[in-house]
Amino acid sequence: MIDKKRVLNEFFDLVKVPCSTHDERAIADILKAKLQALGAAAIHEDNAGEALGGNAGNIVADFAATVPGRQTIMLTAHMDCVEPCAGIKPVLQDGVIRSDGTTILGGDDKAGVEAILEGLRQMQEQHIPHGPLQVVFTISEEGGVHGSQHLDQSLLHADVGYTLDTGGHPGLMTVAAPGKNQFLIHVHGRASHAGVAPEKGHNAIIAAGQLLATAPQGRLDAETTCNAGTITGGTAANVVAGECTIRYEARSRNKEKLGQLTQRLIDHFEQGAVKTDCDVTVELLPDYDPYTMPADSPAIALARRACDACGFPVQLVESGGGSDANHFNSYGIPTLVLGVGMTDCHTTEETLLEQDLYDACELVTALIRTAGE
């Protein structure tokens, strides 16, 4: 049985540790010590942090099988949180966990981290027969899923994976998610004095507005979206803006559509330079590929059996957001995203049902046990 008191206390301890993106050192050291105590045969930390300008890498821990001939399952969660994540004071009231309202809660993704830790403890304490396991705690998931993007793939050898990092009650499984490309669109005009000689200038901000007015935007179909996220430029109100940068993104669960939309956006902005009398350059920043899990996937079948053992209804969903699972799927490890109950993530109104936390721990334990049968 899940030790509810232990789970709640440890979850509270974990969310109190500041863990901003690129500053995961403190939580990484804590988790490495816990994995060691839980019997990991090997613990590796890669160099992804160095590539990203952070102070910690991704953690990959291996647990040796007690039952030979079983598939290797991978359990993953990310260590970093969005801001504000310093000084979190978790509160439990009427079965709901939240912060005191001045910060996020950090259930995204400490709920996933805790579920994995407690599942490993149950495995150890109950002497659950199991196949080989890999546990991966990633850095820099927030803001672009860059930690797993730079993960040392040579450390991975799992057959199926489960990323505990989405809302919904345990039993929810994300079986498809979009790929995403980002764009930095640089508009180069000509600066001049706005009061003395405005006619000598070409305003890059105005040009950007004209280009945005006719650019693809919002939901294009059921699986494809794009968005203008930020626009920055200019130096002062009395200067015709000589430079402007637009940050754009495109997403689709269909890789071909994503490629077509990407080219459409590049063509739109580059060809629009002629109309605006400004120079435009587009910098393409690929983030991750889409994935779709076949209905007969072994990863889904195993997760279904684990949910059945727990009595959790199974819900298969398609997502509009990416996660570490996108990269793991591209690395050849079929990986599902599992619900752990978090709601209103990335806000100070974030909450987590106490029961969902316990159920997520039950589900991880069931996954380990089922994979070993």
Active site residues: 80, 141
d(CA 97, CA 142): 21
R_g over Cα of the chain: 23
Pair 290, 255: CB distance under 8 Å: yes
The number of residues in the chain equals 373
d(CA 111, CA 340): 6
d(CA 179, CA 356): 28
d(CA 251, CA 227): 9
> Looking at this protein, which amino acid is placed at residue 140?
S
> Looking at this protein, which amino acid is placed at residue 99?
S
The sign of the torsion formed by the CA atoms of 255, 291, 301, 133 equals: positive
Strand, coil or helix: 217: coil
Helix/strand number for the chain, H first, E second: 10, 20
d(CA 71, CA 368): 11
